[in-house]
A and B are shown apart, each in its own frame.
Chain A
Amino acid sequence: MLDTVITAFSDALTVQTLVLIVAGVFIGQFFGAIPGLSALTAIAIAVPLTYYFTPVGALAFLVSINKGGTVGGSVSAILMNTPGTPEAAATAFDGHPLAKQGKGLKALKMALFSSVTGDTLSDFVLFAVSAPLALIAIRMGPTEMLAVIVFALTIIASLVGKSMFKGLIAAFLGLLLATVGLDPEGGTSRFIFGMPDLMDGLPISAVGIGVLAMAEVLRQLIVLRGAAGDSHLPLSSERPEDKRLSWAEYRACLRTILRSAAIGTGIGALPGIGSSAAAFIGYNAAIRASKHPETFGKGNIEGVAATESANSSVVGANFIPLLSLGIPGNVAAALILGAFIVHGIQPGPHLMQEQGRLVYAMFAAMVIANGTNLLLGYFGLRIFALAARAPALVVFPTIGLVCLTGAFLTSGTFGLPLVVGFAVIGYLMRALGFSFVTFIIGFVLGPSFELSFRQTVILADGDLGYLVDRPIAMVIFALSAFALSRTIWRHVSTSGKPVTP
């Protein structure tokens, strides 16, 4: 065991990986701090860059961006009441009132410490759970994998977004686009329109950059056109007690932080439910547990601790289904799955067995990234506060160009028009309220879904009795049917009320 830990840290403590971790955390915090951008945008753009890194460096870089983004999002939420990331929306409830009271720096420090605490705890759960889960998963055949993928898609589609129909349509659109390329069994072409570049299918990085990053840039360019630059509140008043966060204050919030970390970890381990849900549930749990619930929303620092701990603890837990089953927990994990595949690594039950050293090196990189997140966050708060008010008319044109550059790096000249096309799809999805989360996860899971389905059909050889002999798969299929029927029932029973299915 000790040997594994030493080897993992020696793999992660190379100069390249350390530089990439620091750069990743910085980029994540920077992108997270700018309203309208998020760690997701940064990850989508960064995936093509990782082609040139070692597998450990590439994964460490992307994971560090993800971790940095959760901290950065709190900066603009607290100082400007404009959450840098969706998951930081609940942070503004108490963070901004604290900033108005001249305690912005104190709130930022609490956000940072609770965020890193929650993230670290969630990482340790990941380290403890993923190997045993993979051991169970390794006994699963294609039928069980098919059942797990169906279950994940059902849960994702029913929980993401306001409308079940739109969530499912987006997921099936993702599945449809995943069929572009050569048929995996016979090698015949599907939707390639005579373009050899499409034979390998649509590149995940081009789809990710287009739908996630460039479409968001497009939306922000239109929304922020002609808007005056926002200014934020000062970091703190002149009183020393407003600038520092004492150990006693942190300790007073520790119970809330741990509760939120448990909530975030539980939510993160389920596919599809993201950091935003965790933040709101953590915040509500803190209100319910408090002796003074009336103080929440008026500048209670416990509110900041609750939301930041919950949303950050989703980051590590999202890797549990990815590393053990090959199913991404959220969009960031889906993009990181794309990076795994680019480096010739297939996440799933066999990952631990075949690439154990890489996985443990990634765990070590996560621990280092948490420390870096704390240090960079602590000493860079003023820089990120400046980033939060960076002028949109410089930021978004530049990010637009970075998106095009990323598309070229990943798919050559073919990637440039492709990314603009997917930006149109992503923009339309946002405008019409279709979930890009289910779309991306459907797109990423599509090939595994089709492969497991084909293998199951071949193994069954036309005999439905084969399925009866796979009790675990049957249970998971039954759970999927139950989840879907429950969602439909909920929709039917509330159809008279103002809820949009």
Chain B
Amino acid sequence: MTLRIFEALVGAGLSLLALAIWLWGIPAWVEPNDFVTVAPDLMPRVAVGAIGVLGALMCLHRLFLEPDRTTPAPIEPATIGLALIVLALFAVSVTLMLTVGFLVGGVFITGALTVFMGQRTWWAILLTAVCPPLLLWGFFEVLLGIPLP
């Protein structure tokens, strides 16, 4: 897929998303109020409307006016996969921090990301996994008295 088509799809997608928020999202999530001069949903509608119109214009521009018809789209399944892995690691770490505590979650995320980055020496992984969370915990909890989860 070329960059032109990819960006046209992004523009169309944004436009459809904006339309959905305009039709269903704003009525559902913005509480009405008849006793104010400017309705609470005006600013959200202005922003969503502008995004929708600009998305549609971007789509039309890429389809009919964009002269670059050869550059490939920046879609690399491997990169998307890696991004999802890192996000999953952060999600697990946040869950661990909220349920078990900062130190466990911290050791998990630094250790896991060090392995993800390519470190295979066990003592280096251990050092990177343990030292930063311990230092941060010591700095905030012990030195400054600011509680961490």
Contact = CB atoms under 8 A, between A and B. Distances in A.
Interface of A: 52, 163, 165-166, 168-169, 172-173, 175-176, 179, 183, 185-186, 188-193, 214, 218, 221-222, 224-227, 392-394, 396-398, 400-402, 404-405, 408-409, 413, 416-417, 420, 423-424, 427, 431-432, 446, 450, 453-454, 457-458, 495-498, 500-501
B43 A175 contact: yes
Contacts of B74: 431
B58 A169 contact: yes
- Report the 5 A-B pairs with minimum CB-CB distance, sorted nearest first: A397-B113, A176-B47, A393-B117, A183-B40, A188-B31
Nearest to A491: B61
B38 A185 contact: yes
B40 A404 contact: no
B5 interface: no
A457 B146 CA distance: 45
- Secondary structure class of chain B's binding surface, majority of residues: helix
A404 B58 contact: no
Given A175-B43, A186-B33, A189-B31, A424 B117 contact: no
B87 interface: yes
Given A401-B106, A404-B93, A501 B61 contact: yes
Interface in B59-104: 61, 65-68, 74, 79, 82-83, 86-87, 90-91, 93-94, 97-98, 102
A214 B14 CA distance: 24
Contacts of B55: 165, 169
Contact of A186 (B35, B106, B109, B111): B35
A498 B68 CA distance: 6
B48 A176 contact: yes
A338 to B, nearest CB: 19
Nearest to A428: B83
Contacts of A423: 87, 90
A165 B58 contact: yes
A398 B79 CA distance: 21
A413 B46 CA distance: 32
B146 A409 contact: yes
Contacts of A495: 61, 65, 67
Contact of A427 (B48, B83, B102, B116): B83
B94 A416 contact: yes
B32 interface: yes
A188 B91 contact: no
A190 B146 contact: no
23 contacts: A165-B54, A172-B51, A175-B43, A183-B31, A185-B38, A190-B30, A190-B41, A218-B87, A222-B79, A222-B82, A396-B117, A397-B111, A398-B110, A400-B113, A404-B106, A405-B102, A408-B148, A416-B94, A416-B98, A454-B37, A498-B68, A500-B66, A501-B61
B114 to A, nearest CB: 5
Nearest to B97: A416
Given A404-B109, A423-B90, A498-B67, A188 B38 contact: no
Given A175-B43, A218-B86, 11 more contacts: A165-B58, A168-B54, A176-B51, A185-B36, A186-B40, A188-B31, A193-B29, A221-B117, A393-B128, A397-B110, A458-B38
A473 B147 CA distance: 49
B138 interface: no
Given A188-B33, A423-B90, A166 B47 contact: no
B29 A190 contact: yes
Given A226-B118, A427-B83, A183 B33 contact: yes
A185 B68 CA distance: 48
B13 to A, nearest CB: 10
A163 B133 CA distance: 41
Contacts of B57: 165
Contact of A393 (B114, B136, B144): B114
